[in-house]
């Protein structure tokens, strides 16, 4: 019988992973362990990041195991070396396996499978909902009412905002999440622009998006929503110059990575009135400093990296990774693999850090 380590947490538990594997037809001894994320924050470990758990304990559990399935466990070189000779596959319920030392997994002979776009539905719905809230000034109005202040001046013309059907929305990045956001915006009747040097023209046309250069997107959009991958080229791509190029009174939404946006420049743009509002679900660093002035602005809708949090994400991610692991254990080729050179399998889609 196979032995599989299920390393869960308080979002995707070891029990949920084991149940998904059993439902996928995997007959195995399940070795379960859970970290306390998100109650305790994730951290960087030896060569991996955004990880939670005890590498030494994982190394003990992985000895003799055929597979390891996880969400955030720190799969360091130490952990993966302990699985050398038995470990065939590592399954990660994330868009990109940033918590895995992929080189060490390759050296151990283990495929690393993952789930690009695993939370695209949750993130896309979050984007649409918060765009509406930010354009209409709803977070500040709700906060004022909770504090006992009835502000009927929100009906004054100069304080009202756009409806999505009248707005032009610019998407910086048109990957899986960006495409889903575009589909939802199309239903509202929005005009949608996108900038992505790697986007498929056919996919953009299918969802009614016009691909443009970044300067045209910035100057032509009422809402700019960031969905780019973090690379050396995209780091702080939304800087003071980009913000200055945006329409006066525009809204900025960032659910991708905090490092894509210069938050000090955003603070200045909000102070000057250049930006009407900002929606920030991601920060650099995370968590942001408690005294960060940006968080206290009434026209900032800030959330603690929750855009991808839904029950569907947890349950469907467990089911999808279980199917991938079952495929590998039965001798098949996985759909998304970070190190196909291990067996010559083909990567269908490059992994991202989302």
Packing angle of the helix pair 311-329, 14-23 (nearest 10 deg): 50
Alpha carbons within 13 angstroms on the beta-carbon side of residue 299 total 21
One of 31, 257, 276, 320 is an active-site residue; which one?
A: 257
- What is the radius of gyration, based on Cα positions, of the chain? 22
286 has catalytic annotation:
yes
Question: How many degrees, rounded to 5, is the angle at CA 54 between CA 51 and CA 57?
Answer: 140
54 close to 43: Cβ distance less than 8 angstroms: no
Question: How many degrees, rounded to 5, is the angle at CA 50 between CA 309 and CA 235?
Answer: 95
Q: How many CB atoms within 10 Å of residue 3? A: 18
40 has catalytic annotation:
no
89 close to 328: Cβ distance less than 8 angstroms: yes
346 has catalytic annotation:
no
One of 23, 40, 163, 286 is an active-site residue; which one?
A: 286
Active site residues: 257, 286, 305
């Amino acid at each position: 019988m196979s032995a599989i380590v299920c390393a869960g947490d308080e979002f995707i538990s070891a029990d949920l992973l084991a149940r998904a594997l059993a439902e996928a037809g995997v007959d195995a001894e399940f070795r379960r362990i859970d970290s306390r994320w998100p109650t305790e924050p994730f951290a960087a470990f030896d060569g991996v990041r955004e990880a939670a758990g005890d590498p030494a304990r994982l190394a003990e559990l992985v000895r003799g195991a055929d597979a390891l399935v996880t969400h955030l466990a720190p799969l360091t070189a130490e952990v993966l070396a302990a699985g050398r000779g038995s470990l065939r596959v590592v399954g990660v319920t994330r868009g990109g396996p940033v918590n895995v030392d992929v080189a060490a997994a390759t050296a151990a002979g283990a495929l690393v499978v993952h789930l690009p776009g695993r939370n695209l539905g949750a993130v896309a719905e979050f984007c649409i909902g918060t765009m509406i809230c930010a354009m209409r000034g709803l977070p500040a109005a709700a906060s004022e009412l909770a504090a006992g202040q009835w502000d009927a001046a929100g009906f004054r013309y100069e304080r009202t905002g756009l409806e999505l059907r009248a707005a032009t929305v610019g998407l910086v990045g048109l990957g899986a999440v960006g495409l889903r956001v575009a589909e939802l915006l199309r239903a509202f009747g929005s005009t949608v622009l996108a900038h992505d040097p790697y986007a498929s023209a056919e996919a953009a046309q299918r969802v009614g998006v016009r691909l443009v250069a970044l300067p045209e997107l910035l100057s032509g959009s009422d809402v700019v929503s960031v969905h780019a991958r973090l690379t050396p080229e995209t780091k702080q791509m939304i800087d003071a110059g980009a913000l200055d190029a945006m329409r006066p009174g525009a809204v900025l939404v960032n659910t991708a990575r905090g490092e894509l946006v210069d938050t000090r420049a955003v603070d200045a743009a909000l102070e000057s009135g250049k930006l009407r509002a900002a929606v920030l679900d991601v920060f650099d660093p995370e968590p942001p400093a408690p005294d960060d002035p940006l968080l206290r602005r009434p026209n900032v809708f800030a959330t603690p990296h929750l855009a991808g949090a839904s029950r569907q994400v947890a349950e469907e991610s467990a089911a999808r990774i279980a199917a991938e692991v079952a495929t590998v254990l039965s001798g098949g080729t996985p759909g998304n693999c970070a190190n196909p050179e291990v067996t010559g399998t083909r990567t269908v889609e490059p992994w991202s850090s989302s």
